[in-house]
Amino acid sequence: MDILSGLLHGFQVALTAQNLMMCVIGVVLGTVIGVLPGLGPPATIAMLLPLTFKLDPTGAMIMLAGIYYGAKYGGSTTSILLNVPGESSSVVTCIDGHKMAVKGRAGPALGMAAIASFIAGTFGVIALMLVAPPLARLSLAFSSPEYFALMVLGLAMVVLLSGDSLVKALLAMLVGLWIATMGTDLFSTTSRFTFDRVELLGGIDFIIVAIGVFAVGEVLGNMEPAKPAEVLPVPKGFRNLLPSWEDLRRCRFAFVNGSLVGFLIGVLPGAGSTIASFMSYGIEKAVSKHPEEFGHGAIEGVAAPEGANNAETGGALVPLLTLGIPGSGTTAILLAALVLWGF
Amino acid sequence: MKPFLRSGDFWSGLALAALGTYIVVQARGWTYASEEGPGAGFFPLWYGSLMVVLSLFLVASSVLKPAKPGEIRWRDVSRALVCWAAFTASVALMPVLGFAISFALLAWFIVKVMCGEGHGTALAVAIGGAALFYGLFELALDVSLPRGLLF
């Protein structure tokens, strides 16, 4: 009954015209900033946090939550249209999302990203309300061996994404591990592969590598004179701007997959939405009846990672709201905002 | 020329084997393990060794089962390399000229020289793009772009 009375009070506070307007403003701002490649939710919230100082705390928190969800969704736009990931968890959306856009199905891809984000985000919020305390205790049970196993599982997804050559995929993964090792080792403070450059002491951020690989590759590919610059075909008719009923039917498992994987990964402090999106994509490809379509414009390859991306938001709020432990950079900024307002 | 010498797998395998060897050599200079647990050299030693093994496998497979050599379009390759060089030069010039001017020069080069568009289009894209970035980051979001000696 406590949960129900708390929920009713929460809805009573949230469903006022002013707070709903704060939510709309937050979502729009978050989506617009999230579209910019390289600017993910942490940077977006950090930049827009000063805007909320003059608001009342409740409205400000609602606006920040709207910014959080909007920025999570916004990253898919450039992934699909430009093959440039908007943030680190939108990298895997580039694989199938852009292929769909090249085939003239950018509208359904963007629409499916929005629908999957909405469904999984709603699931994450409901799960947060209902099962936050026991899940928080479970997340505390995770320690170094479990996190290591989770990372190995994420790397094992390379097998599912390898395409024709497993050896080349593994070599690419090892090069990625080398780049990730650059910088200062956290435990021994040893500088590894910094080539005596001060700039490399802090390591190389993942999103910079992702943008470099995708965006620069896209520009270099368009330098070929043998073919004209690739202009995405514009779909004709309003119906072609939205996913079809068949698309929605195909993605019904992807919605469940993205919601569950994203939320559970998000509960673990430090796991991050990037691994959630990759795992969701790998699971979707593994159980698909048409795995050969993945990598060539499978709409499930957009729905699953984008759903996981947004469901992770609800999961990340579990340790923050129940234990006061920020599980990610974004929730750390939210915690700072809560402290500022005296919560 | 032997067919495997024209194979990209052969040369990339050799390059990765060299990289893996470098990683292993560096890792041997760091602590492998201590009482507290794995040291700085633990992880690099393992993935460096695996990189050497897999890359030599790639080299061997390209030698034993050479793929049909594809046609290399050197003009396209040179255009991509020129574009890459322009990126590099733009980054190198940023500490001197700042982001706005470096980006404008890069944009002008790509639009005018690489894409063959007219002077007006190239200037519009260069100046407009730099102004857009400046307005969005410096003015709207209050985020500083890299500054140079001049700007």
Q: What is the pLDDT of residues B94-127, one digit of tens each?
A: 889 888 899 999 999 988 988 888 889 999 999 9
Mean pLDDT across A234-253: 81
The minimum CA-CA distance between B72 and chain A, rounded to whole Å, is 12
Substitution target in B50, B113, B121 with the highest count of A β-carbons within 10 Å is B50
Tell which wins on pLDDT, A324 or A227: A324
Interface of B with A in 71-90 (CB under 8 A): 73, 75-76, 79-80, 83-84, 87
Q: Could you tell me which residues of chain A have a Cβ less than 8 Å from any Cβ in chain B?
A: 33, 36, 47, 167-168, 170-171, 174-175, 177-178, 181, 185, 187-188, 190, 192-193, 216, 219-220, 223-226, 229
* Interval A52-67: pLDDT, tens: 777 888 888 888 889 8
The confidence score (pLDDT) of residue A274 equals 85
pLDDT at A312 over 60: yes
* Interval A35-52: pLDDT, tens: 887 777 887 787 777 777
Spell out the long-range contacts of B144-148 with Cβ–Cβ below 8 A and sequence spacing 24 or more: B145/B98, B145/B99, B145/B100, B146/B94, B146/B95, B146/B98, B146/B99, B147/B98, B147/B99, B148/B93, B148/B94, B148/B95, B148/B96, B148/B97, B148/B98, B148/B99, B148/B101, B148/B102
Q: What angle do CA A40, A323, A140 make, to 5 degrees?
A: 90
The minimum CA-CA distance between B39 and chain A, rounded to whole Å, is 7
With cut-offs at 50, 70 and 90, classify the pLDDT of residue B25.
very high
Q: Determine which of A99-108, A250-259, A326-335 has the lowest per-residue pLDDT on average.
A: A326-335
CB A61, CB A181: distance < 8 Å = no
Cα separation, B82 vs B77, whole angstroms: 9
Length of chain B: 151
Chain centre distance of CA B60: 26
The confidence score (pLDDT) of residue B22 equals 96
* Interval A138-189: pLDDT, tens: 777 878 888 888 788 778 777 766 777 889 989 999 999 999 999 998 888 8
Which chain A positions have a beta carbon within 8 Å of B44's beta carbon? 178, 181, 192-193
> Between chains, do B76 and A174 touch, taking CB under 8 Å as contact?
no
> DSSP H helical segments within A166-242, as ranges?
166-181, 206-211, 217-221
Q: Give the three-class secondary structure for A150.
A: helix
pTM: 0.75
The confidence score (pLDDT) of residue A323 equals 79
pLDDT at A214 over 80: no
With cut-offs at 50, 70 and 90, classify the pLDDT of residue A119.
very high
A307, A282, B56, B40: CA torsion to nearest 10: 60
Task: Give the percent of chain A with pLDDT over 90.
Answer: 26
Which chain A positions have a beta carbon within 8 Å of B50's beta carbon? 170, 174
- A42 Cβ contact partners less than 8 Å away, ≥ 6 residues apart: A328, A329, A330, A332, A333
Mean pLDDT across A209-216: 77
**Domains of chain A by residue range:** 2-340
ipTM for the predicted complex: 0.82
> Between chains, do A175 and B39 touch, taking CB under 8 Å as contact?
no
The confidence score (pLDDT) of residue A175 equals 94
Whole-number average pLDDT of chain B: 87
Whole-number average pLDDT of chain A: 84
Nearest to B47 among A167, A168, A174 (CB): A174
Which chain A positions have a beta carbon within 8 Å of B75's beta carbon? 225
Task: Give the percent of chain A with pLDDT over 70.
Answer: 93
The confidence score (pLDDT) of residue B147 equals 84
Mean pLDDT across A240-250: 86
Q: Determine which of A185-199, A267-281, B19-33 has the lowest per-residue pLDDT on average.
A: A267-281
DSSP labels, A162-175: -TT-HHHHHHHHHH
Q: Which residues pair with B33 in a beta bridge?
A: B38
Tell which wins on pLDDT, B6 or A287: A287
The confidence score (pLDDT) of residue B28 equals 94
